[in-house]
Amino acid sequence: MGKERFTMQWFDFYKGKKVLITGHTGFKGGWMCSMLHKAGAQVTGYALKPPTAPSLFDLCSLGDKVYSVEGDVRDLPHLHRVFEETKPEIVIHMAAQPLVRESYQNPVYTYEVNVMGTVNVLECVRQSNSVRSVINVTTDKVYRNKEWCWGYREEDELNGYDPYSNSKSCSELVTDSYKASFFSRDTEKAAEAFAEFTLGVSTVRAGNVIGGGDFAKDRIIPDCVRAVSRGEEIIVRNPYSVRPYQHVLEPLAVYLMLAKEQYEDVKFAGRYNVGPDESDCLTTGELVDLFCCKWMQQTGKKPLWIDQSGHGPHEAGFLKLDCSKLKSVLGWKSVWNIEKTMEKLVEWYHVYLSCGKIEECMEKQIAEFLAAGGME
């Protein structure tokens, strides 16, 4: 059943659908806007101004392709007015303070955005008569990381270490509470597996996403690109940490597929991990080696990197996800392995640094991804 559902032309489902995205001006939000625009959805974006300069949102003129509202998810009255005005059918909540190191510097802001922002979005959903499907995007870092060698499953303990990770754990708990309290036909049975829910609400815990258009600080691929563009060595803070790296289109496709499935049948709603296959979980040092190799193939120039481990606050050393549930229930299968991911990533940044046509590059990569995944 699952595999058949995945290979269906589910992308067409979004034509004409009203979709509200929070955090649409960020890296993942920019790619999501591009995918939904390609699908013909009526997209409303709610977010602060792009968090970086340059930004994917501005480079691709995405403000001309979606209804873009500048707003803060901490501002409940304003967010509620946008819900009332646009009457979304599907909500994808991606707005966040997404950086671990930033969360050490600004913990209060991180909790305000990541926890109360989730409360405010779900409160607007609770008061809405139009919403039928909600995706709350969290992170692989929601788990209590015990540095063990196997992947975390959806039922493992939540308790992120740093303020970012912990705030996303809290966001998961907020979602569970709203589902049990407000979106269940029988609140006394809402915590049980057989409870009937009135609205499809899921949380999705994605691994480390990489791809063209990320310009954030303290992320390894943007750090690599900034270094090579200046002719400098790449500084790697945690070369021995293992992460589930995947192309940004991988989790975005899952969000869209899951939003569709639970829109049509709430039984698909739940908690899901989305990450790469085990063979594609690399150390950060191995990832940088691959970047350097692909960059040399693209440009003829091989970058160098240096190990600066041990400088900075605590970050998890070993982290993998078990995605068996996603594969079993929805028939998901990763589309691009890490080699192809890096190839596409380097292609995008080479176009950008060469002042090429970024929008055409993105459209081509989205089309290639959908075709490779059987989604067209």
pLDDT for residue 9 is more than 70 = no
Residue-wise pLDDT for 45-84, tens only, equals 999 999 999 999 999 999 999 999 999 999 999 999 999 9
Question: Which DSSP helix (H) or strand (E) runs through 101?
Answer: helix 100-105
Q: What is the mean pLDDT of residues 100-104?
A: 94
Residue 185: predicted pLDDT: 72
Q: What is the mean pLDDT of residues 273-287?
A: 92
Q: What is the mean pLDDT of residues 256-273?
A: 96
* Residue 307 to residues 223, 285, 304, Cα–Cα distance (Å): 13, 9, 10
- Cα–Cα–Cα angle for 57, 59, 63, nearest 5°? 45
Measured in Å, how far apart are the chain's first and last C-alpha atoms? Answer: 19
Identify the CATH number of the domain defined by range 2-210+244-280+320-336. 3.40.50.720
- Alpha helix (H) ranges present in 185-320? 220-230, 249-264, 284-299
- Lookup result for tokens 């692909």: 294
Residue-wise pLDDT for 117-146, tens only, equals 999 999 999 999 999 999 999 999 999 998
Q: 101: exposed, middle or buried (C-beta count within 10 Å: 0-12, 13-18, 19+)?
A: middle
The pTM for the full model equals: 0.94
Residue-wise pLDDT for 218-227, tens only, equals 899 999 999 9
User: Is cis: bond before 54, omega within 30 of 0?
Assistant: yes
- 313 SS3 class: coil
Strands ordered across the beta sheet of 200-206: 67-70, 42-47, 18-22, 90-93, 133-137, 200-206, 271-274
* Residue 150 to residues 146, 154, 165, 281, Cα–Cα distance (Å): 10, 13, 19, 11
Residue-wise pLDDT for 197-220, tens only, equals 789 999 999 989 999 999 999 899
Residues 6+ apart with CB under 8 A from 264: none
Strand partners, 93: 22, 136
Residues 6+ apart with CB under 8 A from 181: 187, 190
Alpha-carbon distance of 72 to 69, in angstroms, equals 10
Q: What is the mean pLDDT of residues 10-38?
A: 95
Q: Is the dihedral angle over the CA atoms 263, 268, 274, 278 positive or is it negative?
A: negative
Q: Are 123 and 175 in contact (CB under 8 A)?
A: no
Alpha-carbon distance of 114 to 38, in angstroms, equals 29
* Residue 49 to residues 30, 36, 56, 141, 247, Cα–Cα distance (Å): 12, 20, 12, 26, 24
Strand partners, 246: 209
Residue 315: predicted pLDDT: 63
Give the residue from 245, 324, 251, 326 showing the smallest Cα distance to 289.
245
Residue-wise pLDDT for 290-306, tens only, equals 999 999 999 999 999 99
Q: Among 68-72, 100-104, 241-245, which stretch is predicted with the lowest mean pLDDT?
A: 241-245
pLDDT band at 196 (very low <50, low <70, confident <90, very high): low
**Domains of the chain by residue range:** 2-210+244-280+320-336
- 70 SS3 class: strand
pLDDT for residue 317 is more than 80 = no
Give the residue from 239, 126, 218 showing the smallest Cα distance to 175.
126
Mean pLDDT, the chain, rounded, equals 92
241 C-beta neighbours (distance < 10 Å), count: 20
Q: 49: exposed, middle or buried (C-beta count within 10 Å: 0-12, 13-18, 19+)?
A: exposed
pLDDT band at 149 (very low <50, low <70, confident <90, very high): confident
CA 372 to the chain's CA centroid: 20
pLDDT cut 90: percent of the chain above it:
83
pLDDT band at 1 (very low <50, low <70, confident <90, very high): very low
